[in-house]
Structure 1
């Protein structure tokens, strides 16, 4: 009965939003839609503010191409070596990671060669930024709740195609490049980057930009040969328009490792010209693509974690956010919430928060405030789970819309671990 299968998700959403009280413990509130909150979105940013924040976005995005060397100390570059030196860590087989494997990664990293290459490059197709030059994972004890897959601590971040880089040096075996991206530092496979010259940098930076607003957009070169899938918030140089598509430049790597740019098309249903107006339709367009995505620690297997989701929500509107949750929580106008009771926190969030422009922060997690219902704030966030007694987890594992009391009626929930108890600040990214 396809009609009932189609209707059931809508009925479930309506049931959760109407406040019906069932007998026994209430279910966890989860929704994968922002539709009930779009009426609370503020007016779009004015032209002057849009221009200002977009200029800031571009300055951060292209910062690696303006550098002549990595702007980090040797101590900062090698923090992961010290961090994992005395920790009990595990491999993909759930057994303790052999010390000789970690030592081999560190040797191959050749940190004594820091900043000897100092060359600009660009990501040519989606890849991962790793703490050590290896795709092998690092886990803490997989038998503990909240550890093991997907928490690969060798994973720093996912990188999109066309991400600017400055390369410090190569690994001893030549298979990896130690790079600084616009938002993080780490190792990428050499096959995933292409060297770029100053003329190409100048040309790319001067062109307007197109942004992907869909998920897993198939990208082709000028001969319609498949290159890669692009995720939402991927940026491409924009060269014009054609019928219902934007004309863009896409990257390829030549046989000698240099950047080649091919002409391609971005259908308007998959993207648009940067920055998108931050109106109700575009907020819905972006948010609905992010919701429902599986949780991916550090962008593992090209999924998003909490801070990657908030970062990619704001990017199409030309608003820059750093990569990790703590840094994101310091952007804009910060309102402290620590020390307040749950009801006081909710009241202050509703009174001072701007829907779809405000982040809520608790140590290790960041959320997008989308509005209120009956005086209770609701958030859009990609979350792993709800902590239960005995340090267990009720797994959510995807991007959802919830209130801040999610899970309070679960039988074994740890009440002290509820979001409303742990949130310590809110910050309005751009004031109306």
Structure 2
């Protein structure tokens, strides 16, 4: 008996001396507990108006005769980054000659001279300069370095409408206006459309992809590209188990629109009804995705996540967080203490239709639990003391008090301390 007792006591002693698991932030990748707070779906007439507005904004580049911005506005990145200390992918200072070569290649003297309508052929990265090389600030600083490539403007999905301003000097890049941003795309990622092709597309219905990394094939069922959730493709019709869609096949500089089959289990006809089943399906596909600044490596950042949440329902959002925070009915939270902010969010926020903004970040309000507001958002990390970061790096559901449970969290970095507004994207009808 004594021989058994001693090892047991020894085990308990070592267990008591073992280091304790450090506290972790309270987060989850489940939205289902909040779906019961979802308001009733939109009435048919209201939803039709929302979708008509969505399509008008989506097809806007094809209705333009030229880019609707000035050359000065289009070249903001040149002036913004020219005087800043920049770093390259090797964590060393970016050579000035390399930056200047990018600017020369941008060929802005040719701005708005080509003026051709086009479409993306696959998922692409919209860049501020005509190069895939990254631009970083000092990687030794907190919150800098990978994934914060400041040459990355946005990810662009396949079959996105474009108008092309001009080409780079070397002919390898096209300066384009998408429905939501300006920037450079490799010419291999785009193809030009005729007016007849555009007329055909805009008169068709649409199917939206609801599964991440879905393979899409051409008319002969040869692989074309992977489509992310919220990719929109023209809908020709339906047959048993499949949608018949149009896909772009590049022929020279132009495009041939081929009919292809797409499994119905991976998509739906637009716009989706905003009911619990569809909201849960869309949210579950977004949750858990790694963070991607500006859509880097085709991952979403905070505003890309909120944009792609609303898109399948035919509700348009701008691309960046500051502009998204101006949509719908805006309520200021500035000047309130944390308790008053949370109380107002819980009392006046509409779950799954309300965005909550803080400088540089946007979140989707999903509901409350025991008086605490919860949000769905894709974030990089939580500020800690002495300028550090606790890395989350993915899309999660958290309370607005995320970070309070961490002993080294920066008290001023807790979400609820920094939020300054909320906006109901589509206010309930009277």
Question: Do these two structures clear the TM 0.5 threshold for a shared fold by scoring above it?
Answer: yes
Alignment check: 8 A CA contact 1:308 1:323 kept: yes
User: Is the contact between residue 175 and residue 184 of structure 2 (CA under 8 Å) also seen in structure 1?
Assistant: yes
In 2, Cα distance between equivalents of 1:280 and 1:427: 21
Which residue of 2 is the match for residue 13 of structure 1?
Answer: none
Query: What is the CA–CA distance in structure 2 between the aligned matches of 1:267 and 1:215, rounded to whole Å?
Result: 14
Call closer, same or farther: CA 1:330–1:144 in 2, change over 3 Å: same
User: What is the CA distance between 1:25 and its match in structure 2?
Assistant: 7.4
Structure 1 residue 72: deviation in Å? Answer: 0.8
Report how far residue 182 of structure 1 moved.
Answer: 0.1
Query: What residue number does 2:89 align with?
Result: 92
Confirm or deny that 1:215 pairs with 2:176: no
Counterpart contact for 1:332–1:428, Cα < 8 Å: yes
Deviation of the 1:391 alpha carbon:
1.0
CA distance in 1, matches of 2:330, 2:21: 39
Instruction: Give the equivalent residue in structure 1 for 2:254.
Output: 258
Secondary structure of 2:265 counterpart:
coil
What's the offset of the Cα at 1:412? 1.0
Deviation of residue 26 (structure 1)?
5.0
Tell me what 2:348 maps to: 352
Quote the residue 2:235 is aligned against.
Answer: 238
**Match in the other structure for 2:5:** none
Higher-Rg member (1/2): 2
Does the alignment pair 1:58 with 2:62? no
Q: Secondary structure at the match of 2:345?
A: helix
Query: For residue 318 of structure 1, what is the aligned residue in structure 2?
Result: 314
Which residue number in structure 2 is paired with residue 18 of structure 1? Answer: none
The aligned residue for residue 274 of structure 1 is 270
Aligned to 2:37: 40
| CA deviations over 1:237-271 (Å, ceiling 9, x no partner) | 001001122111111211x1101111112212111
- Following superposition of structure 1 onto structure 2, how do residues 154-303 of structure 1 map, counting pairs within 5 Å? 154-254=151-251, 256-303=252-299
Does the Cα contact within 8 Å between 2:66 and 2:115 map onto a contact in 1? yes
1:213-258: per-residue Cα shift (whole Å, max 9, x none)?
110000001111101100011000001001122111111211x110
Distance 2:283 2:187 in 1: 33
Corresponding position: 1:341 with 2:337: yes
TM-score by length of 1: 0.94
- Partners of 1:25 and 1:411 within 8 A in 2: no
- What is the match of residue 413 of structure 2? 417
Q: Which residue of 1 aligns with 2:80?
A: 83
**Please, which of 395, 400, 403 is the counterpart of residue 399 of structure 1?**
395
Instruction: Tell me how far apart the structure 2 counterparts of residues 44 and 370 of structure 1 sit (CA, whole Å).
Output: 15
Alignment partners' CA distance in 1, 2:153 and 2:400: 28
Gaps of 5+ in 2: 1-19
Q: Assess if the C-alpha contact under 8 Å between 2:204 and 2:235 holds in 1.
A: yes
CA deviation vs aligned residue, 1:111-134 (integer Å, no higher than 9, x gap): 011001011000011100000000
Equivalent residue pairs, number: 409
Whole-Å separation in 2 of the counterparts to 1:409 and 1:353? 25
Structure 1, unpaired ranges of 5+: 1-22
Q: Within 2, Cα distance between the matches of 1:121 and 1:221?
A: 19
CA contact (8 A) 2:26 2:405 kept: no
TM-superposed CA distance for 1:24, in Å, is: 9.6
Give the TM-score taking structure 2 as reference length: 0.94
* Inter-partner Cα distance in structure 2 for 1:97 and 1:252: 38
TM alignment of 1:373-388, pairs within 5 A: 373-388=369-384
